[in-house]
Amino acid sequence: MELKLRKIGNSVGVVLPKEALARLNATEGDTLELTETPDGYRVSAAQSEFAKTMAVMKSLSERYRNTLRELAK
């Protein structure tokens, strides 16, 4: 599937056809992830559960920084 880059304001964007959105299981307003692979790039729907988990982990690691540092010794 070929996609065309288009100027959107001061940025450049890609318009995804309905078929691509359906395969990504994405809709307008969703977040997509662009991942570099050895063969190029991969576009996938963002995994919001993973992002939430990482946010919790970051919060806990900041809150218990000293405790974690002592446990690591």
Q: What is the pLDDT of residues 38-70, one digit of tens each?
A: 999 988 888 767 777 888 888 999 999 999 899
Model's pTM, two decimal places? 0.53
CATH number for the domain spanning 16: value is: 2.10.260
- Cβ atoms 57, 49 nearer than 8 A: no
Cα–Cα dist 2/12, whole Å:
16
Q: Which domain holds residue 49?
A: 5-72
Domain count, the chain: 1
The residues, ordered by sequence, that sit 6+ positions from 7 with a Cβ below 8 Å of its Cβ are none
Residue 11, classed as helix, strand or coil, is strand
Look at the alpha carbons of 42, 47, 50, 52 in this order and tell me if their dihedral is positive or negative: positive
Name beta bridge partners: 45.
Answer: 32
